[in-house]
Amino acid sequence: MKITVITDSSIYNPTAGVNRCVSLAKGLVAAGHDVDIFCLDACSAGSATGDLGGVQFRHAASGIPSQNRWRRGWTVCVQYLGELNRFVKNTPTDAALVMVGKPWRVFLILQVLARREIPGFTERNEYPFILAPQIDTFLQRQAVQWWYIKKMVPRMCGLALMTKNLETYFRQVTPRCPPTIVIPMTVEPERFETPGMSPFPFRYIGFCGVLTGTKDGVPILVEAFGRIAAQFPDIRLVIIGDNSDTKAINDLRAIAEQYGAADRILFTGMISRKEMPRYLGNAALLALSRPRTKQAEGGFPTKLGEYLATGRPTVVTRVGEIPDYLEDGVHSFLAEPDDVDDFARALRTALSDPAGAEQVGTCGRTLAHTVFDYRVQGKRLGNFMSGTMQTPPLYT
Give 257: exposed, middle or buried? Use CB within 10 Å, 0-12, 13-18, 19+.
middle
- Does a structural domain hold residue 309? yes
Q: Do 120 and 252 belong together in one domain?
A: no
Of 79, 91, 89, the C-alpha closest to 112 is 89
Q: Is residue 393 in some structural domain?
A: no
77 within some domain: yes
Whether residue 392 lies inside any domain: the answer is: no
Domain assignment present for 218: yes
| Residue 193, C-beta contacts closer than 8 angstroms, at least 6 positions apart | none
In this structure, the answer to whether residues 93 and 232 fall within a common structural domain is no
Q: Are 125 and 24 members of one domain? A: yes
Burial class (CB in 10 A: 0-12, 13-18, 19+), 50: middle
Say yes or no: 41 and 126 in one domain.
Answer: yes
45 and 157 inside one domain: yes
pTM > 0.85: yes or no: yes
pLDDT at position 396: 40
Residues 365 and 222 in one domain: yes
Q: Which residues contact 43 (CB under 8 A, 6 or more apart)?
A: 10, 11, 12, 59, 61, 62, 63
Based on the domain organization, do 87 and 203 belong to the same domain?
Answer: no
**Please, what sign has the CA dihedral across residues 79, 82, 88, 90?**
negative
- What angle in degrees, to the nearest 10, is found between the helix axes of 16-30 and 302-310? 70
**Which of 201, 147, 149, 211 is closest to 175 using CA atoms?**
149
Q: How many domains does the chain have?
A: 2
Q: Are residues 81 and 155 in the same domain?
A: yes
* 225 located within any domain: yes
In the chain, which ranges are continuous DSSP H helix? 16-30, 69-75, 81-90, 103-115, 138-146, 164-173, 218-228, 246-257, 276-281, 294-298, 302-310, 322-325, 340-352, 354-369, 374-387
Cα angle vertex 54, ends 51, 56, to 5°?
45
Please check whether residues 178 and 194 belong to one and the same domain. no
Q: Does residue 396 lie in a domain region?
A: no
Residue 395 is predicted with a pLDDT of 42
Can you give the pLDDT at residue 334? Answer: 98
Contact 365, 309 (CB under 8 A): yes
Distances (CA, A) of 297 to 135, 372, 373: 22, 19, 22
How do the pLDDT tens digits run along the chain, 396 residues long? 999 999 988 888 878 889 999 999 999 999 999 999 999 888 877 788 999 888 999 998 887 766 666 676 678 777 888 899 999 999 889 999 999 888 778 888 988 998 889 999 999 998 886 654 454 455 556 666 777 888 888 889 999 999 999 999 999 988 889 999 999 999 999 999 988 999 999 999 999 999 987 789 999 999 999 999 999 999 999 999 998 899 999 999 999 999 999 999 999 999 988 899 999 999 999 999 999 998 899 989 989 999 999 999 999 999 999 999 999 999 999 999 999 999 999 999 999 999 999 999 999 999 999 999 999 999 999 999 998 766 554 444
Residue 278 lies in a domain: yes
Query: Tell me, what CATH number does 217's domain have?
Result: 3.40.50.2000
One domain for residues 23 and 107: yes
Range of the domain at 269: 190-369
The CA distance from 116 to 12, in Å, is 28
Whether residues 174 and 309 share a domain: the answer is no
Q: Indicate whether 34 and 93 sit together in one domain.
A: yes
